[in-house]
Amino acid sequence: MFEREILMIPGPTNVDPKVLRALSKPTTSHTSQEFANIFKEALNNLKKVFMTKSEVFVIAGSGTLALEMAIANIVEPGDKVLNTVSGFFGNYFVEISKVYGAVPRVLEMPWGKPVKSEQVKDALIEDDYKAVTVTHVETSTGVANHVREIGEVVKRYSDAFYIVDTVCSLGGMEVRVDEWGIDACASGSQKCIGVPPGLALIAVSQKTLEYLEKRKTSVGSWYGSFKNWLPVMRDPTKYFATPPVNMVYALHEALKLIIEEGLENRFRRHYVLAEAFRAAVNALNLNLIAEKESAANTVTAAYYPENIEDSQFRNEMEKHGIVVASTLGPLKGKGFRVGHMGNVNQNDVFATVTAIETTLKKLGYKAELGKGLAAAQEKLLSLEQSTLA
Ligand SMILES: Cc1ncc(COP(=O)(O)O)c(C=O)c1O
């Protein structure tokens, strides 16, 4: 097995060596001032990434824990929740809502299509909901939902808490927690943030924090209770449960890199590389699963041409040192997904496109070698020129 491979799956993504080195620093006491200073700096930088002045939480666990904490703290048994679902991950909120005793109403969109804010509006006019959930980038299809627009509808037509999954967008696409009125924004470390899997990242509004004081029932999770963690997030020398010290070091390093690059530059890089990759896929005459207007800049999913078998395709790609992912749920076996986020650069995209072309050709697809690559190069150049102009 090569140790050097390009991870083009939609998370985990390739981790910068600086971040990896932070993981191997000597583990310090989790309540030492030295660790607290680093944790605090990481939390402050994380607020910048979430674009919030309210509270953020960094908890050992994956993105799913972040989703679960959002629901567990906001929803009480019997509450009605409007869950928008446009793919595999949207359904996580439905299942979690049920576990915490909520009554979900599922607003389901066909896979590949975004949530329609008109439909959210109609649902909110019809009934009262405690919370509305939206998945920003639906990783199963490569659709980016219109979080800002839906947030405006939620605020205008209800008092509901707005809960958003940004596991596959935070740090790669614009997420403005305060401006967009998000009450709980759930994310994870292993995608656009560029840290290995293992951290749940959550931003919580003042409205949510105030609500925690007046809930009728206690939160159905002890480890996942915002109130238990809040003193630690405000002063990391405090103890509730041991934080993952070395993962916090890694997050601290990764967030420094993000701030150094600048959020706007980072969003632009993701956009440009996504456009280049999509241009290549189109040039190869493959069909994208997400409709063009709602394509995410962090992940792209495409259908296979006829007679291309999923595991054969991905195994062949791995011989090029490039790892891509299969599609999920009802699309299993019908397509593949490529993550282009985090530390991704243009060489990664070019290498991936070249490997796709070669692999498809090898497996019998009539691909003209170099066509996808040229399209990606052209797109990249034209977008660079438009930036310079
Ligand atoms: C949009 C989205 N939500 C939730 C999750 C679950 O996150 P995790 O696997 O870190 O628990 C994922 C994972 O890929 C995701 O892409």
Per-residue pLDDT of 222-237, as tens digits, reads: 999 999 999 999 999 9
Q: How far is the CA of 64 from the centre of ligand 1 (A)?
A: 6
Q: Would you mind telling me the total number of residues written for the chain in this entry?
A: 389
Mutation test residue for ligand 1: of 58, 59, 64, 202, the one with most atoms within 8 Å of CB? 64
Mean pLDDT value of segment 91-105: 98
Q: How far is the CA of 372 from the centre of ligand 1 (A)?
A: 29
Q: How far is the CA of 92 from the centre of ligand 1 (A)?
A: 9
Q: For residue 281, with 0-12 CB atoms within 10 Å meaning exposed, 13-18 middle and 19 or more buried, which class applies?
A: buried
Give the pLDDT score at 282.
98
Ligand 1 atom at minimum distance from 64 CA: 11
pLDDT 10s digits, 10-48: 999 999 999 999 999 999 999 999 999 999 999 999 999
With contact defined as beta carbons under 8 Å apart, do 67 and 186 qualify? yes
Question: What residues contact 1, with CB distance under 8 A and at least 6 apart?
Answer: none
Ligand 1 atom at minimum distance from 200 CA: 10
Of 265, 102, 236, the closest CA to residue 171 belongs to 265
Give the pLDDT score at 4.
84
With a cut of 80, say whether residue 132 has pLDDT above it.
Answer: yes
Residue whose CA is closest, atom 12 of ligand 1?
167
Bridge partners, residue 200, by sequence: 59, 188
Residue 276: pLDDT band (50, 70, 90) is: very high
Alpha helices in the chain (DSSP H): 17-23, 33-50, 63-74, 90-99, 117-126, 147-157, 206-214, 226-234, 245-261, 263-283, 310-319, 346-362, 371-388
Q: How far is the CA of 298 from the centre of ligand 1 (A)?
A: 13
Q: From CA 102, how far away is CA 38, in angstroms rounded?
A: 38
Token pair belonging to 348:
């990664």
Mean pLDDT of the chain: 97
Ligand 1 atom at minimum distance from 140 CA: 16
Give the pLDDT score at 165.
99
Ligand 1 atom at minimum distance from 67 CA: 4
pLDDT 10s digits, 151-179: 999 999 999 999 999 999 999 999 999 99
Residue 85: pLDDT band (50, 70, 90) is: very high
Mutation test residue for ligand 1: of 115, 139, 328, the one with most atoms within 8 Å of CB? 139
Pick one of 3.40.470.10, 3.40.640.10, 3.30.420.40, 3.40.50.300 as the CATH number of 17-260. Answer: 3.40.640.10
Q: How far is the CA of 89 from the centre of ligand 1 (A)?
A: 7
Q: DSSP letter at 134? A: E
Residue 366: pLDDT band (50, 70, 90) is: very high
With a cut of 70, say whether residue 330 has pLDDT above it.
Answer: yes
With contact defined as beta carbons under 8 Å apart, do 289 and 112 qualify? yes
Mutation test residue for ligand 1: of 71, 88, 89, the one with most atoms within 8 Å of CB? 89
Mean pLDDT value of segment 360-376: 96
Mean pLDDT value of segment 284-303: 97
Residue 385: pLDDT band (50, 70, 90) is: confident
Q: How far is the CA of 13 from the centre of ligand 1 (A)?
A: 13
pLDDT above 90 coverage of the chain, percent: 97
Mutation test residue for ligand 1: of 168, 190, 247, the one with most atoms within 8 Å of CB? 168
Q: How far is the CA of 141 from the centre of ligand 1 (A)?
A: 13
Residue 2: pLDDT band (50, 70, 90) is: low
Q: For residue 330, with 0-12 CB atoms within 10 Å meaning exposed, 13-18 middle and 19 or more buried, which class applies?
A: exposed
The torsion angles phi and psi of 36, rounded to 5 degrees, stand at -60, -40
What distances in angstroms separate CA 240 from CA 27, 38, 180, 338, one per listed residue? Answer: 18, 18, 31, 39
For the chain, how far is it from start to end, CA to CA, in angstroms? 45
pTM value > 0.85: yes
Q: From CA 115, how far away is CA 113, in angstroms rounded?
A: 7
With a cut of 90, say whether residue 3 has pLDDT above it.
Answer: no
Looking at residue 72, its amino acid is A
Give the pLDDT score at 389.
63
Of 8, 14, 10, 331, the closest CA to residue 139 belongs to 10
Domain ranges of the chain: 6-10+262-388, 17-260
Q: How far is the CA of 240 from the centre of ligand 1 (A)?
A: 26
Residue 1: pLDDT band (50, 70, 90) is: low
Looking at residue 386, its amino acid is S
Q: How far is the CA of 167 from the centre of ligand 1 (A)?
A: 6
Ligand 1 atom at minimum distance from 190 CA: 10
With contact defined as beta carbons under 8 Å apart, do 71 and 100 qualify? yes
Q: Torsion angle, CA of 171/176/177/179, rounded to 10 degrees? A: 170
Mean pLDDT value of segment 113-123: 98
Give the pLDDT score at 367.
83
With contact defined as beta carbons under 8 Å apart, do 273 and 349 qualify? yes
Q: For residue 192, with 0-12 CB atoms within 10 Å meaning exposed, 13-18 middle and 19 or more buried, which class applies?
A: buried
Q: From CA 2, how far away is CA 174, in angstroms rounded?
A: 35
Token pair belonging to 125:
């006019």
Looking at residue 83, its amino acid is N
Tell the CATH superfamily of the 6-10+262-388 domain: Aspartate Aminotransferase, domain 1 (3.90.1150.10)
Residues near ligand 1 (Cβ within 6 A): 11, 62-64, 89, 92, 135, 137, 139, 165, 167-168, 188, 197
With a cut of 90, say whether residue 210 has pLDDT above it.
Answer: yes
